[in-house]
Amino acid sequence: MKVIIIGAVAAGTSAAAQIMRNDKEADVVIYEKDRDISYSACGFPYHIGGKVGFSDVVPRTPASFSEKYGVQVHSGHEVTKIDPAAKKVFGQTDEGNAFEDDYDELIMATGAQSMLPDLPGSDDARVFTLRTAEDTRAIMEYMEEKQPQNAVIVGTGFIGLEVLENLLERKIHVTVLNRSDKITPHLDADMAKHLEDLLRTRGVDLRKNTEIKAITKTAADTGEEQIPADLILFATGVRPNTKIAEEAGVALGDTGGIVVDDALRTNVEHIYACGDCAQLWSQLDKEPMYVPLGTSANKTGKIAGDVLTGGSMRFQGILGTSIFRLFDLTIGATGYTEKKAKDLGYDTEIICQKSLHRAGYFSGEPMEIKAVVDKKSRTLLGVQLIGTKGVDKRLDVLVTAIKNKMDGDALYNLDLSYAPPYNAVHDPVHYIGLKMRGLSS
């Protein structure tokens, strides 16, 4: 069996590795348009801040990956066309040479691309996005050469806020622009307010309801003022790379991602899709979701590789679980926000719980949890958590509760660990369970 994989970051390399684990006789060929493969994009903000080295976030080369797994890796090779009838791919190398290859099975792992608005001056050398290893390399080279003093970050998602913190640690003044009144798309307004307050107490120049209209030689022009900018980062989200798939007849969903089933199959025979180019679905209700995260990219890649080699693994959907750090706070979220649940037609009740992450006499620190509960099923639809310590543990417990549709009794009866250095005798999760039990029927 010959498998061609288009894309060699998280999903593509995960698929290749799983195929070779299951079938050492498989012929696997990977085509990647960039020179870097199998990197940790989530670590890029911390490389920018000097906390980790480039080799930490880009630990593998095409040669080392090929040697370890016994696959062919062609970096600098962009696939530009798929012919499903002939089962062939066509493309061009970064040196301008044409190539073609045939396959028995094809995996689309083409990822996503940053959204960069078409503005006057957006092609300036001071303007960046942060998605690929090449993006990171370019930002680091620019900062070393130009030593910027004033940066503008557009967007308040994970990447924007993580880069913000790391630029501040480099003593660069940062102005953050957000097009709407609420920052951070993964949180409801009441929880996002905590982050807004934190940013202001840290001296961050946060401008809400503000967009860049043009980029001049020295500033970001909002139409009302010129904000000095030696470096401008657009962190306004991504869109799936689906052009060649769509041209080959592969169906796209409402989110713009490639539609797949639980075996990661597309509507075109012998073509699979995984990672950030694929549309996934909610574990709550099968609602289509496009939430490009490293966790689901690695997972869907591994499952696609297993399916192709006759394995029994199947994908079960996502909750969009995410976590990030901002200064001394950890912010986590999973499932639906209150707003999203209402938009989808759920009748909800809201639980807000403030607790210490461990015993008070062991310097327990405050944590706030917002839980969105479905009135009909009496189960959780989503949670948002903010605190300085212990957020990751409670988030993952509550993810498990949502996945398994646990009600308040089940949540309260979880036999969670307890010792004063680690927890309180009633965990914050237990209090959520108790409050769920007490909701009106």
- Does 102 share its domain with 249? yes
| C-alpha distances in Å from residue 3, one per residue of 61, 106, 244, 297, 322 | 20, 6, 17, 18, 32
- Does 89 share its domain with 142? no
- Does 302 share its domain with 348? no
CA separation for the pair 38, 17 (Å, rounded): 11
CATH number of the CATH domain containing 351: 3.30.390.30
- Does 26 share its domain with 72? yes
Rg (CA), the chain: 23
On whether residue 318 sits in a domain, the answer given is: no
Strand order in the sheet with 322-326: 322-326, 329-335, 379-387, 366-374, 348-356
CA separation for the pair 376, 373 (Å, rounded): 9
On whether residue 314 sits in a domain, the answer given is: no
pLDDT in tens, the chain (441 residues): 999 999 999 999 999 999 999 999 999 999 999 999 999 999 999 999 999 999 999 999 999 999 999 999 999 999 999 999 999 999 999 999 999 999 999 999 999 999 999 999 999 999 999 999 999 999 999 999 999 999 999 999 999 999 999 999 999 999 999 999 999 999 999 999 999 999 999 999 999 999 999 999 999 999 999 999 999 999 999 999 999 999 999 999 999 999 999 999 999 999 999 999 999 999 999 999 999 999 999 999 999 999 999 999 999 999 999 999 999 999 999 999 999 999 999 999 999 999 999 999 999 999 999 999 999 999 999 999 999 999 999 999 999 999 999 999 999 999 999 999 999 999 999 999 999 998 855
- Does 103 share its domain with 132? no
CA separation for the pair 348, 374 (Å, rounded): 5
> Apex CA 157: angle with CA 198 and CA 204, to 5°?
35
CA separation for the pair 158, 292 (Å, rounded): 12
CA separation for the pair 117, 127 (Å, rounded): 11
CA separation for the pair 231, 150 (Å, rounded): 7
On whether residue 171 sits in a domain, the answer given is: yes
- Does 101 share its domain with 16? yes
Which of 201, 218, 234 is where one domain is finished?
Answer: 234
pLDDT value for 440: 57
> Which residue intervals of 309-427 are DSSP H helices?
338-343, 391-403, 408-412
One-character DSSP codes across 69-86: HT-EEEETEEEEEEETTT
- Does 40 share its domain with 177? no
> What does the block give as tokens for 235?
């962190």
Position 206, amino acid: L
On whether residue 323 sits in a domain, the answer given is: no
Residue 97: HSE in the Cβ half-sphere, 13 Å Cα cutoff: 5
pLDDT value for 439: 80
pTM comes to: 0.95
CA separation for the pair 23, 306 (Å, rounded): 10
**CA neighbor of 332 nearest in space, from 307, 349, 311, 357:** 357
On whether residue 322 sits in a domain, the answer given is: no
On whether residue 313 sits in a domain, the answer given is: no
Position 423, amino acid: N
Which of 279, 308, 337 is where one domain is finished?
Answer: 308
Q: Are 417 and 430 in contact (CB under 8 A)?
A: no
- Does 9 share its domain with 73? yes
42 catalytic? Reply is yes
CATH number of the CATH domain containing 292: 3.50.50.60
- Does 201 share its domain with 186? yes
- Does 286 share its domain with 350? no
- Does 122 share its domain with 270? no
One-character DSSP codes across 295-324: HHHHHHHHHHHHHHTT-------B---EEE
- Does 348 share its domain with 432? yes
Length of the chain: 441
> What does the block give as tokens for 314?
């199947």
On whether residue 144 sits in a domain, the answer given is: yes
Number of folded domains that form the chain: 3
CA separation for the pair 260, 252 (Å, rounded): 9
**CA neighbor of 29 nearest in space, from 12, 53, 5:** 5
Q: Which residues of 77-114 are buried (b: 16+ CB within 10 A; e: fewer)?
A: bbbeebebeebebebbeeeeeeeebebebbbbbbbbbb
- Three-class SS state of 363: coil
Which of 256, 275, 308 is where one domain is finished?
Answer: 308
> Apex CA 274: angle with CA 137 and CA 325, to 5°?
50
Q: Are 373 and 380 in contact (CB under 8 A)?
A: yes
Task: Determine the structural domain holding residue 128 and report its residue range.
Answer: 116-234
On whether residue 320 sits in a domain, the answer given is: no
Residue partners of 83: CB distance under 8 A and separation at least 6? 89, 90, 248
